[in-house]
Amino acid sequence: MGRLTGKAAFITGAASGIGKAAALLFAQEGARLCLLDIATEAGGALADEIAAGGGDALFLETDITSEQSVSSSFERGLATLGEVDVLLNCAGGSSGKDGSIVDAPIEELWRVMQLDLLGTILTCRAAIPAMRAAGGGSIVNMSSTVTVATVPGIDFYTAVKGGVSALTRTLAVQHAPSRIRVNALAPGVTMTERVLAISGGDVSRFPLASKQVLGPAKPHEVAAAALFLASDDAAMVTGVVLPVDGGASAW
């Protein structure tokens, strides 16, 4: 029996990268999926791929920076799946416009705050009441190892991901009585499509990569950690920010 058999999992940023890897893995482990992403074509194709393999996946175009869009997607997803047992927040990411707090354009701060922090807040806000009514659930947010293994020059992203870590811990404490576990992953350099495009295929260009003694991660390796936190194998794990960074945070 799969580790998520009988569970309904909502995944943001599901159309690519870690989110896509997690969707495929969660489907293999028996989850019924609600895939949320702004990339309609890729998200729909992923849902079709999962269905063709015998899985159960619904794709909903969703802008996680919009309260209305998130609310509508959760309403539709709950109407179809009946519950939300797992929420995995993968949507987010930095951009080449980030930099020193002195020099980076302030518009980049608002962009990353909306995408990485506000988006996480809105999806948690939508999922927690349904989880509470159902008697519990698991939320897995996406922080970053740059919050503990300092990488100069991505100051806005670092600050915002620190906010995701702090949010994760406070939600874990508040909602433990409702049997809702809240944890986060802190990946290092991960070879997603976006990262490979930014680096021109050479991830060693990223300063953090030199600290990753096990090398850069592959998306499915981060997804495996997400599966652990989402599943009942982690029944006594909450309030944790788990590094998946090849040892970078050990320095």
Q: Give the residue numbers marked as catalytic.
A: 157
Q: How far apart are CA 216 and CA 136, in angstroms?
A: 34
| DSSP assignments along 101-120, one per residue | TTTS-HHHHHHHIIIIIIHH
Q: What does the CA dihedral 185, 39, 192, 219 come to, rounded to 10 degrees? A: 50
Structure tokens at 5: 């058999």
Q: At a CB cut-off of 8 Å and minimum separation 6, what does 239 contact?
A: 168, 169, 172, 173, 182, 183
Q: Which residues contact 53 (CB under 8 A, 6 or more apart)?
A: 27
Contact 148, 158 (CB under 8 A): no
Q: Six-digit token pair at 156? A: 């806005």
Q: Is 144 in contact with 150 (CB distance < 8 Å)?
A: no
User: Exposed, middle or buried: residue 106 (CB in 10 Å: 0-12, 13-18, 19+)?
Assistant: exposed
| Maximum Cα–Cα distance across the chain | 53
